[in-house]
Amino acid sequence: MSTLVVIAKECVPGRVKTRLTPALTPQQAAEVAAASLEATLAAAARVRADRHVLFLDGRPPAGCDFEVLPQPTGTLDVRLAALFDAMTDRTLLIGMDTPQVDPELLEATLADDSGADAWFGRATDGGFWALGLDAPDGALIAGVPMSVPWTGALQRRRLVAAGLRVADLPRLTDVDTAESAREVAALLPGTPFADLVASGLEDAA
């Protein structure tokens, strides 16, 4: 059994992608976030998994057919720990900020029989975009400082310290700033995400 989880926040202006402003307006930033989430969900939907879960803060986007689990209150590490404690089988968590994610990579990770206990994808900003556990345990995440440049290093170190065999996934860029949005958009030419990024940054120029 396997579960693929996308963690996301409702794309409300002023609440998501605030670091994209002032290069984009709050409305444009929310539209970019929504396009990123839509692309991520579309990629995740192509992955063969027993469960597809949207771990959500807010209301789900229209037409979403994933199983929706509401995020509890608390800091991000507390919320992630609660999620993994609620899982019973191999679970792979990804964020909504990497619309360039490869469905084949996600599927291969969930089907990996190499003997790994955990799968870890670092982000270029020092965080992480993916975390998979063969035996989910929230204690492996709780207490790790989130949203700092060394989050990824600390989280991976926690996994290794627990005696887990960690398989590293490719490093990806999260969409957080105008520069990173432009970088990711270049990987997805002709998509709604890329078009929204381009039009927003042109308006700001």
Q: Total domain count for the chain?
A: 1
Q: Using the structure block, give the residue that is written with the tokens 């968590």.
A: 93
Each residue's pLDDT tens digit, 13-46:
999 999 999 999 999 999 999 999 999 999 999 9
Q: What is the pLDDT of residue 121?
A: 98
Each residue's pLDDT tens digit, 44-89:
999 999 999 999 999 999 889 999 999 999 999 999 999 999 999 9
Give ∠ CA 37-95-92 in degrees, rounded to 5.
125
Q: What is the pLDDT of residue 201?
A: 83
Mean pLDDT, to the nearest integer, of 181-188? 96
Q: What is the CATH number of the domain that holds 145?
A: 3.90.550.10
Q: What is the DSSP letter of 135?
A: S
Chain centroid, CA 30 distance in Å: 16
Domain extent, residue 143, equals 2-204
Q: What is the pLDDT of residue 203?
A: 66
